[in-house]
Structure 1
Amino acid sequence: MTWFRDAKFGIFMHWGAYAVPAWAEPIGELGTFDSTYWFSHCPYAEWYWNTSQIEGSPAYQHHQSTHGGRPYDDFLDLWHADLFDPNDLAALFARAGARYVIPTTKHHDGITLWDAPGTGTRNTVHRGPRRDLVADLAGATRAAGLRFGVYYSGGIDWYAGRRAVIRHESQIDDHGRANEAAYAAYALAQVQDLIARYQPDVLWNDIGWPDLGLDDLPELFADYRSAVPDGVVNDRWDGTHSVRPSVSYDFLTSEYQANRGNEGAGPWENCRGVGYSFGFNQAEGPAHCLSPAAAVRLLADVVSRGGNLLLNVGPRSDGTLPPRQRAVLEGMASWMAVNSVAIHDTRPLEGAVPGETPWLRWTRTDDHAYALLADAAGEVLLPHSAGLIAPVRLDGKPLTAHAVSAGTAISLDDVGTLPVVIRFRLSA
């Protein structure tokens, strides 16, 4: 578990046949809308199959006018991934400071990115890309020195499980989540196959697990931890988030603004996209997406509160990253090249006060404390308890500082939206 708590930053990758239509209404972040409105206007492009079946929804209208109402599985055959370069992507993720990568191996559409048992030809090995995309990503990720995890949609499968259209969150358990014994066996065999083939460092399940398979989970987790002794398991196995003691997870999750109550004591991870969608959404523009500075600040905020950030990218159907997403990661890479010591292997700093005007977050290691500061100019107070001495800027620029009763007062040139990092030595 130590490696996960030290990693601080991971890359999520949502890639599937939904990258062909690549469309959703970019309304905003999960957790900020009424459920009925959310599902009919869902900004998640990876939910396209569901949203496009809700008559009267913008996705329904788009699917009829743009794609003539064609069957969803046509998109699998139109997904060619002809420009997919896993080594280039893994190198970018490493430069950006990520320490683990988690791609979708099966999302809610039930299409698997490897030759999964029970799928016949409905996977990327036999159709569409005609490649084992999971193997490609696992090999490239590990060759770049990063850990590799797998996302699996255990609770929802619109092909092998239940095909009812979901119009409200309350319908997920009622008729959206597949609870039958046959599907439970199907999902179990696929996760067992993922473990056997790829030995993932993270098992990241979504939307619960079939009710008639919940009793299989303790043995599944025991077998996984035997095969991957330092592997970790997320909390989304029993319902959306685990509540059964027998479902032994290692870390809690939040998503955009949803389940923020999980961001507390113990290991936790916040996931979100660069924009409002996880899968590539061609309808998103700059106003819907993080800037490089906003992404750095999000990472710093999560880490300063003891969590990990799992930042998602959604490749286009050809396998390339949209330029806006790549620019965010390249911007993070430039910042991390100087300041990663304030992120990796850190913990929250007790006795320090965060702020919004100017923007301020704190982290610490055994020997140093780090103030991450933005939107500041002139003399600024960095409030903290005693024991922080000898402040310097990590970027090497001059810094004037003196101790005051409430912390440290510093003088510096204008700092914009991208944080600078001031390192303090912790006195004995």
Structure 2
Amino acid sequence: MSAAESFPRRHFLAGAAAAGALSALPAGVLASSAEAAATTTTTTAATGVPLPPLRVPQIDKGLPQQPDAKVGWLQDAKIGMFIHWGVYAGPAQGEWYMRQAQVKPSAYRHFLTDATQQQFTADQFDPTSWTGLAKDMGAKYVVLTTRHHEGFGLYPNAHPNAWTSAQSPLNRDFVASYVSAVRAAGLKVGLYYSPINWRYPGYYNVSGAPLTNPPWNLEGADPATFDYVANARMMKEEVYQAVKQLVTDYGPIDDLWWDGGWLAESGSDADGAFFWEPGQYRDQGNRWPVGGYGETESTSGRPLGLMGMVRAHQPDIVVTPRAGWLGDYQVEEGGSVPTGPVRAGAVEKAFTIRGAWGYQAGASVMSYDDILAVVVNSVVRNMTTLINVGPDRHGLVPQDSADVLRRVGAFLSDVGESIYGTRGGPWQPVDGRVGYTYRDATCYVHLLAGQPAGAFTTPAIGDARVQRVYDVHSKQDLNHTTNSDATVTITGIDRSAHPQDTVLALVLDRPVVATDVARRKLTTSDSEESSHGNLAGQATDGDTATRWCAADGNTGHWLRVDLGGPTALTGIRIAWEFPNRTYRYRVDGSVDGGAWSTLVDRVNNTDTSQVHTLPCTGVARYLRVTVTGLDAGCWASIRSCEAFDRPFR
């Protein structure tokens, strides 16, 4: 793990751009319907529930992010266990000890080979005890450091310069045993891998530029004549061989936790992409080729980059962004308590609970209250939490770490319905006081330590009606009153069982957030790019990784959705193919498919957001989106076309 960093999160804009109401209703719409639509408009502005933002997969270096269907398990899991374990557990001063103490690679090997009190022996390695702790703490997936920056792999690597546990004196494949144990426990399998390798001086000077001072890890060579470029190339070869074996030797892997695409400990992970080539393909003219240690694509014969190789063998895997490719989910690192808004997209909060990430002798463990504060403040912000432990040189997790995590697990078991399989929101949390999660027709109020005692009033729940309110811990019903502004006041709350997070459940008579009434409805268009499978129905299939596209780049193309019957609409949301482009368009509605009236007029649009959220009123059975203007290089192409018949904001 690198020094604590916070990685930027991509927020897909879903701003509620103003759209005019119908000036004239289509023929056949009754006056009562028009009155209902007008009432809906008022409710939407005053009491509507926020829509969850869309996650739209982006393409980076030739490879698209995984769709929601493949990332959803991570968002549902909510809790994972991270395990940092390697030779650094021997000196017991954290995973960065080699670098911080500037221990030469040859000297560092003695922590593996020499029988001292600092030898990494792994003599009590038992992955079933790790998975037992993971289940006790409420984790649904586990991630193991298969190789950290020290360059020692916990599994075989056929590269001739690799340093691994498969060699003497251990002669073991720890990853194989770990993967088997995790699968047997019914947990998702995660593997951490760092391309950084402190055994190679070339890491600090991949281009071979003249250096005033040689790198700290150079030994046994003349700094003036040392071939840094060749050394860096060997390091890259080892990485490609290591990753190839990770994704081919252990069956299906759910999560690959990249860490460390940056070069010479400077810049960003993306800055090092020219060297590592983390995307779909490698450049055959790259200065640092990997030869037979890489792979080529069977269909095209093109050399695969790191992620191209990973996806070729693990098509369902999700990965972090920390090797120079965009990643399928984002990471916030460190033990600070999350603040601010609900996060957009898939985000993981990773933190360690006992000093460094790797085993650190004498370190203090985080308190139960502090751990819980990170966990619950992550969950209400729609983040999964990955909680790290560092086993010692024998393979044992410190007892104080295990004890506090089992206590966290007891809490999670008690209130699990408000954690697992939920999403953060839909309302924004108030730092230190309250946050929310929801699933289907139930929303959960998390009263945190800073929330004053007494009654609590929720945000407005829109057009829903409350069927039941209860304490999630005791399952006892609670007194409640629905107010004229659609907020709900709850009384008789007992905060004694879990003062760090008292959870209340509100069961409604309909889903907490407005659902898309256009999903999987009959969708047609005047033109389809059928040769690439970009058919009309893919705009309403609920998958933002698919899209409708017209057969050419002309304007005037349209997409039409049959909602199945006249529907009093409150708004539409469209996700276009590309971000940072200007799409100009008009949305019309009709009850009979013959007479059309304008719901939304964006023919003069200048908004370059990918997602457009469009409040509008009107009763329509049919919706038609007509593209009237396009930027150069854009075609009429929609990833998602949603329609809503309930208040939202």
TM-score scaled by structure 1? 0.78
Q: Is the 8 A contact 2:471 2:478 kept in 1?
A: no
Q: Which structure shows the bigger proportion of residues in helix conformation? A: 1
Once the two structures are TM-superposed, the CA of residue 181 in structure 1 deviates from its matched residue by 2.7
Q: Does residue 265 of structure 1 match 2:344? A: yes
Output the amino acid matched with 1:237: A
431, 442, 458: which one aligns with 1:368: 442
CA distance, structure 2, for counterparts of residue 349 and residue 138 of structure 1: 34
CA distance, structure 1, for counterparts of residue 97 and residue 384 of structure 2: 28
Once the two structures are TM-superposed, the CA of residue 216 in structure 1 deviates from its matched residue by 5.5
CA distance, structure 1, for counterparts of residue 187 and residue 374 of structure 2: 21
Q: Is the 8 A contact 1:369 1:388 kept in 2?
A: no
136, 143, 158: which one aligns with 2:184: 143
CA distance, structure 1, for counterparts of residue 155 and residue 507 of structure 2: 49
What is the 5 A alignment of 1:15-414? 15-23=85-93, 45-53=94-102, 71-77=107-113, 78-118=119-159, 122-127=163-168, 129-154=170-195, 156-160=196-200, 162=202, 180-198=232-250, 199-208=252-261, 211=273, 213-215=275-277, 217-218=279-280, 219=304, 220-238=306-324, 247-256=325-334, 264-285=343-364, 289-351=365-427, 353-356=429-432, 359-375=433-449, 378-386=453-461, 387=464, 389=466, 390-396=468-474, 398=476, 400-403=478-481, 405=483, 406-414=487-495
CA distance, structure 2, for counterparts of residue 147 and residue 373 of structure 1: 30
Deviations 1:226-285 (A, max 9, x none): 4223211210112xxxxxxxx342111121179x89983211112110134111111312
CA distance, structure 1, for counterparts of residue 470 and residue 374 of structure 2: 23
C-alpha spacing 1:124/1:266, structure 2 compared with 1 (3 Å): same
Q: Is the 8 A contact 1:388 1:426 kept in 2?
A: yes
Q: Is the 8 A contact 2:372 2:500 kept in 1?
A: yes
Q: Is the 8 A contact 1:353 1:384 kept in 2?
A: no
Q: Is the 8 A contact 2:319 2:327 kept in 1?
A: yes
Output the amino acid matched with 2:277: D
Q: Is the 8 A contact 2:150 2:197 kept in 1?
A: yes
CA distance, structure 2, for counterparts of residue 116 and residue 361 of structure 1: 46
CA distance, structure 2, for counterparts of residue 394 and residue 377 of structure 1: 19
CA distance, structure 1, for counterparts of residue 469 and residue 394 of structure 2: 48
CA distance, structure 1, for counterparts of residue 401 and residue 96 of structure 2: 20
SS of equivalent residue, structure 2 residue 143: strand
Number of the residue aligned with 1:58: none
CA distance, structure 2, for counterparts of residue 297 and residue 401 of structure 1: 27
CA distance, structure 2, for counterparts of residue 263 and residue 138 of structure 1: 33
Once the two structures are TM-superposed, the CA of residue 380 in structure 1 deviates from its matched residue by 3.3
SS of equivalent residue, structure 1 residue 350: coil
CA distance, structure 1, for counterparts of residue 426 and residue 198 of structure 2: 46
Output the amino acid matched with 1:298: V
Q: Is the 8 A contact 2:136 2:409 kept in 1?
A: yes
SS of equivalent residue, structure 1 residue 421: strand
CA distance, structure 2, for counterparts of residue 371 and residue 251 of structure 1: 26
Q: Does residue 13 of structure 1 match 2:83? A: yes
CA distance, structure 2, for counterparts of residue 141 and residue 109 of structure 1: 25
CA distance, structure 2, for counterparts of residue 130 and residue 18 of structure 1: 18
Q: Is the 8 A contact 1:352 1:383 kept in 2?
A: no
C-alpha spacing 1:388/1:232, structure 2 compared with 1 (3 Å): farther
Once the two structures are TM-superposed, the CA of residue 114 in structure 1 deviates from its matched residue by 0.6
Q: Is the 8 A contact 2:151 2:198 kept in 1?
A: yes
C-alpha spacing 1:90/1:383, structure 2 compared with 1 (3 Å): same
Number of the residue aligned with 2:505: 423
Provide runs of 4+ in structure 1 moved above 6 Å: 174-179, 260-263
C-alpha spacing 1:283/1:204, structure 2 compared with 1 (3 Å): same
CA distance, structure 1, for counterparts of residue 277 and residue 242 of structure 2: 16
Aligned-residue CA RMSD in angstroms?
3.2
C-alpha spacing 1:409/1:53, structure 2 compared with 1 (3 Å): same
C-alpha spacing 1:130/1:262, structure 2 compared with 1 (3 Å): farther
SS of equivalent residue, structure 1 residue 279: coil
CA distance, structure 2, for counterparts of residue 388 and residue 175 of structure 1: 67
Output the amino acid matched with 1:71: A
C-alpha spacing 1:216/1:418, structure 2 compared with 1 (3 Å): closer
Output the amino acid matched with 2:85: W
Q: Is the 8 A contact 1:125 1:131 kept in 2?
A: yes
Once the two structures are TM-superposed, the CA of residue 116 in structure 1 deviates from its matched residue by 1.6
Q: Is the 8 A contact 1:181 1:213 kept in 2?
A: no
SS of equivalent residue, structure 1 residue 190: helix
Q: Is the 8 A contact 2:350 2:386 kept in 1?
A: yes
SS of equivalent residue, structure 1 residue 320: coil
Once the two structures are TM-superposed, the CA of residue 335 in structure 1 deviates from its matched residue by 1.3
CA distance, structure 2, for counterparts of residue 310 and residue 187 of structure 1: 25
SS of equivalent residue, structure 2 residue 328: coil
Number of the residue aligned with 2:286: none
CA distance, structure 2, for counterparts of residue 119 and residue 291 of structure 1: 45
Number of the residue aligned with 1:42: none
Output the amino acid matched with 1:420: T
SS of equivalent residue, structure 1 residue 75: helix
Output the amino acid matched with 1:22: A
Q: Is the 8 A contact 1:399 1:412 kept in 2?
A: no
Higher-Rg structure is 2
Deviations 1:153-195 (A, max 9, x none): 11x2011454769xxxxx9xx9799983332222111111100
Output the amino acid matched with 2:142: V
C-alpha spacing 1:109/1:353, structure 2 compared with 1 (3 Å): closer
Number of the residue aligned with 2:44: none
SS of equivalent residue, structure 1 residue 217: coil
Deviations 1:31-77 (A, max 9, x none): xxxxxxxxxxxxxx1000111139xxxxxxxx9xxxxx992221123
CA distance, structure 1, for counterparts of residue 186 and residue 465 of structure 2: 34
Flag structure 1 segments of 5+ consecutive residues without an equivalent.
24-44, 55-62, 64-68, 166-170, 239-246
CA distance, structure 1, for counterparts of residue 431 and residue 344 of structure 2: 21
Output the amino acid matched with 1:159: R
SS of equivalent residue, structure 2 residue 152: coil
Q: Is the 8 A contact 1:292 1:328 kept in 2?
A: yes
CA distance, structure 1, for counterparts of residue 429 and residue 256 of structure 2: 35
Output the amino acid matched with 2:423: R
Number of the residue aligned with 1:57: none
Output the amino acid matched with 2:249: R
CA distance, structure 1, for counterparts of residue 247 and residue 138 of structure 2: 26
